[in-house]
Amino acid sequence: MRKYFNNHKYMKLDIEIENCGKISHASVAIAPFTVIGGANSSGKSFITRSLYSIFNSMADNSLQNIGEKLILRLLHMTSASEFELVAPNKQVKVNHKILLDAVCKLEQTVVFLRCDSSLSDVARHKLVNETISKAVRNCNIAFLEIEKIKKYEDYKTSLIAIREALVQFTKYINSPEGLFSETLSVALKNDFQENFQVVDLLELKNYKSVSTDLVKFNFKNVGKVEIDKDKVTVSFDVSKTKELETLNNVVFLESPVYWKLRKTLLNSTMSTSNIFFKKLFYKSNHLTGVPKYFLDLVKLVETKYKSNENSSENYELYNDITTLIGGELDLLDSGELCFKDSATKRNININLTASGITNLGLIGLLLKQNVIAKGSFIFVDEPEVNLHPAWQRVLIDVLYRLSRSGINIVMASHSVDMMKYIENIMEDLDDDEINAHFAVTQMSKEGYSVNDELDPLEKLSAIKSDLNSSYVDMFMEGSW
């Protein structure tokens, strides 16, 4: 059984992306502060949405989470199956009680081993496998007792499902790589479809690619994700995915327009909590038109997390943001998101606030709620949209401070101003600091990453030059 450590360090990854949307081929480096720059329609948003989908799915479906879900499912199925016993005799009741005790014992064993790392891996495996085997034997005994009795048909079906779940848990203990890949493949297919709002994953394939080409995400020395037609295949070395699996919350920030339409998007006839409660029981088989990353963020915003080791540093930044925007975003008991003006003490409807206030206020709210902390990832897609250049500079400063506190930033932008603000930050650092903290990818209109051999500062200069070229062309043509 694997042991887990919450050792959040600055993450460095190299990823090759092929045939995804506008992207023909891109080499993307991930660092504490990652910049993806280039002209419109160069594939930047395909990178941010795809990587968000992968990172968020891995965080939600870590081996530890998979194990916890399997145990909970076993407990719930075994407990609930008692209601399917129709006028059971004494022996049937006893058999069910023994089975339930065995499943509870399995859960207790797993919890014990997760808290106590003194046993060797061999001893841990042996203890868990013996506990599973006992539960399987008890399940078989319960099944044989009622196998030929018609009134127990529903109970028999439940026992078969319980036995299959126990076999699945055996696989989790003895062959975690396979189960991790299977679980992540299913989760990723759903996340790709819902984050891109596509009916068929074939829609994500680059139109220039040939029929035999796959959509590929190759994480150097870690593993890969491939999309073939409508199937997602995942292959990761689980011994090298601990950083990705133990990520704190992964967040995607896009246009503040979503937040201004939040109530309508989430269905004005139902509270958001009921929406998520409903989703626990009814799997949606249709696209809503609202990207999953927005719903993920709404759910995170509505949750208050315990303080952590860098809460004081984050709270200082939260206070600075509050001072900058003259107030804070707040979630009212009614579920409404509003801006609390520091000067007037009034609650102002979010629809009446500037985009800069909404963008920065949302980051402040995430800090206040401890949603983002050391080890978190924030994907920011084209934050310059509807944002005044003065607010752009403030936002870059805030994102940089977040990255210095251990919160990973991945930002896609086609703003010359934003590139200049980041360049100004880099110019105050030495080369080693720049190379350790920043990663820059330049995307061409043809969907390729270019100038991969340049260092981060040189790439920013190249991106600025490329983005400025359209203005130069307009000036030369007399259109300016």
The answer as to whether 8 is a domain residue is no
Three-state SS for 38? Answer: strand
Q: Are residues 400 and 254 in the same domain?
A: yes
The pLDDT tens digits of the residues spanning 5-37 come to 234 456 789 999 999 999 999 999 999 999 999
Sequence-ordered strand ranges (E) for 313-450: 327-331, 337-341, 347-349, 377-381, 408-413, 438-443, 449-450
Task: Report the C-alpha gap between 287 and 480 in whole angstroms.
Answer: 43
Q: Are residues 253 and 163 in the same domain?
A: no
Q: Are residues 321 and 415 in the same domain?
A: yes
Mean pLDDT for the stretch of residues 282-289: 68
Q: Which two tokens stand for residue 397?
A: 């400063």
10 Å CB burial of residue 392 (0-12, 13-18, 19+) is buried
The pLDDT tens digits of the residues spanning 132-176 come to 999 999 999 999 999 999 999 999 999 999 999 999 999 888 888
Residue with tokens 């990255």: 403
Residue % of the chain over a pLDDT of 90: 63
pLDDT on residue 90: 95
The answer as to whether 156 is a domain residue is yes
- Residue whose C-alpha is closest to residue 216's, from 7, 27, 450: 27
The pLDDT tens digits of the residues spanning 400-458 come to 999 999 999 999 999 999 999 999 999 999 999 999 999 999 999 999 999 999 999 99
CATH code where residue 471 lies: 3.40.50
10 Å CB burial of residue 479 (0-12, 13-18, 19+) is exposed
pLDDT on residue 7: 40
Q: Are residues 418 and 279 in the same domain?
A: yes
10 Å CB burial of residue 283 (0-12, 13-18, 19+) is exposed
* Maximum alpha-carbon separation in the chain: 94
pLDDT on residue 176: 84
The answer to whether 328 and 338 are in contact (CB under 8 A) is: no
User: Of 174, 208, 233, which residue is a domain's last?
Assistant: 174
The answer as to whether 69 is a domain residue is yes
Provide the residue range defining the domain that includes 421: 249-429+451-477
CATH code where residue 133 lies: 1.20.1440.210
Q: Are residues 158 and 264 in the same domain?
A: no
- Confidence check: pLDDT of 332 > 90: no
- Confidence check: pLDDT of 1 > 70: no
User: Of 137, 153, 174, which residue is a domain's last?
Assistant: 174
- Confidence check: pLDDT of 281 > 70: no
Mean pLDDT of the chain: 87
Confidence label for 272 from pLDDT (cuts 50, 70 and 90) = very low
pLDDT on residue 463: 96
- pTM of the complete model: 0.84
User: Of 174, 206, 221, which residue is a domain's last?
Assistant: 174
The answer as to whether 396 is a domain residue is yes
